[in-house]
Structure 1
Amino acid sequence: MDDAFDPLPILKVLAAHRVRFVVIGGYAAFLQHAPFLTNDVDITPDQSAANLERLSAALTELDARIRTQSDPEGLPFNHNAASLAGVRVWNLTTPHGDLDISFVPNGTTGYDDLAADATDATIHGVTIQVASLADIIRSKQAANRPKDQRVLPTLREILAYRHAKNRA
């Protein structure tokens, strides 16, 4: 929709609707102090029907649309808990930037797996769960995309530094 990426309104709406989710991917790595910029928010939501209904309401408020290369405004779509659960990955756009929903990211078994080691982060008063750096690395290794391979050495270095610092 708009080329401006502002994750805060997206996170605020998800939090206001009490959606249970873990932030994953590049934005999660950025929140873990990785020096890479990203232009979207990736999340893994809890797949319970009640949570997916809350997610559907949040997506409606966000005016989320299916992202396509041919239409920068995205394609409108109707959704509810069942339809959201019926697709493994949603690539969406909002007026605040892109939002990708992955129910079972590569190298993981989904929300419960990621939530187990996630940390809470508060961004301008909004508290969210952020995937652990180890889980981000695990998922990026499993995805094995060129863009993931480029950032993995730095992410591993940050994780090793943290482990060394915690042992000292």
Structure 2
Amino acid sequence: MLDDPLERLHDAARRTRELARERAATGLGHDDADDDVGTIGTDGAVGFDPFPLLRALHANGVRAVVIGQVAGIMHGSTELTGDLDLLWDGDPAQAPALAAAFASVGARLADDVVLEPAAFLRPKVDFTSPGVGGDCCTPALPWGDLRVREFLDRAMTAVGPGGLEVHYLTRQDLIRMRRAVGRPKDLRRADELERLA
């Protein structure tokens, strides 16, 4: 297994693109993903590359934390994904930089939401871009008993070429989040993360 979290993600993104290269379009987006298979079974897997958006977030000084299966992959999970889910603190002062990062990669927001700073102050906004789609969430999204603002404070940072910094949940916080959501894929992936620990 690769030791570096960003190398793991590069490798997983490459394998995802290879897997989906010859697949016929399904018309399914990340919100249509099966609760067992996940977004690897959707059109989000075609051309999957989270790095342009991750680099744009870094270049714009945005501290968004990777959650979901991309974070799982960074911790060593072998399951592939077709989306990128993010958590940020929801501070209105940071919203312009967040909007600029998304705009710089040609992202669009779902449901005809205008890509402007105010849009990111919602508890959750869905997005698509040429390389990746997913959710961008704040702690205002109902997370049950989880104190996800504390998850942000504990997040880890992987550093890549050119000083790229990618923030992602700790293994334990990701496991907590997986168990709280409780879909079959989440429980399976939580079990895998516990074995990897």
Q: TM-score range by the shorter chain?
A: 0.7 to 0.9
TM-score by length of 2: 0.69
Partner of 1:148: 186
Partner of 1:127: 165
Question: Structure 1 residue 127: deviation in Å?
Answer: 1.0
Partner letter of residue 115 of structure 2? H
Partner letter of residue 113 of structure 2? F
Partner of 2:147: 109
Partner of 1:138: 176
How many residues in Structure 1 have an aligned counterpart in Structure 2? 150
Q: Return 24-33 or 47-56, whichever deviates more.
A: 47-56
Question: Structure 1 residue 24: deviation in Å?
Answer: 0.8
Does the CA-based 8 Å contact 1:119-1:129 persist in structure 2? yes
Separation in structure 1 between the aligned mates of residue 48 and residue 160 of structure 2, nearest angstrom: 15
Gaps of 5+ in 1: 68-74, 160-168
Separation in structure 2 between the aligned mates of residue 138 and residue 5 of structure 1, nearest angstrom: 26
Q: Which has the higher relative contact order, 1 or 2, with Cα contacts under 8 A spaced 6 or more apart?
A: 1
DSSP-derived class of the 2:84 partner: strand
Does the CA-based 8 Å contact 2:119-2:125 persist in structure 1? no
Higher fraction of strand: 1
Partner of 1:35: 78
TM-score by length of 1: 0.79
Separation in structure 2 between the aligned mates of residue 29 and residue 123 of structure 1, nearest angstrom: 18
Matches within 5 A, 1:40-51: 40-51=83-94
- The percentage of aligned residue pairs carrying the same residue is 28
Partner letter of residue 158 of structure 2? A
Separation in structure 1 between the aligned mates of residue 186 and residue 96 of structure 2, nearest angstrom: 31
Partner letter of residue 128 of structure 2? T
Q: Superposition RMSD on alpha carbons, in Å?
A: 2.0
DSSP-derived class of the 1:6 partner: coil
Separation in structure 2 between the aligned mates of residue 139 and residue 158 of structure 1, nearest angstrom: 17
Separation in structure 2 between the aligned mates of residue 143 and residue 47 of structure 1, nearest angstrom: 21
Matches within 5 A, 1:69-84: 77-84=113-120
Q: Deviation per CA, 1:105-145: give whole Å up to 9, x if none.
A: 635333x3112221110234311211000000000111111
DSSP-derived class of the 1:40 partner: coil
Separation in structure 1 between the aligned mates of residue 78 and residue 154 of structure 2, nearest angstrom: 22
DSSP-derived class of the 1:128 partner: strand
Separation in structure 2 between the aligned mates of residue 79 and residue 9 of structure 1, nearest angstrom: 17
Question: Structure 1 residue 76: deviation in Å?
Answer: 5.2
Question: Structure 1 residue 44: deviation in Å?
Answer: 0.5
Gaps of 5+ in 2: 1-42
Does the CA-based 8 Å contact 1:8-1:123 persist in structure 2? no
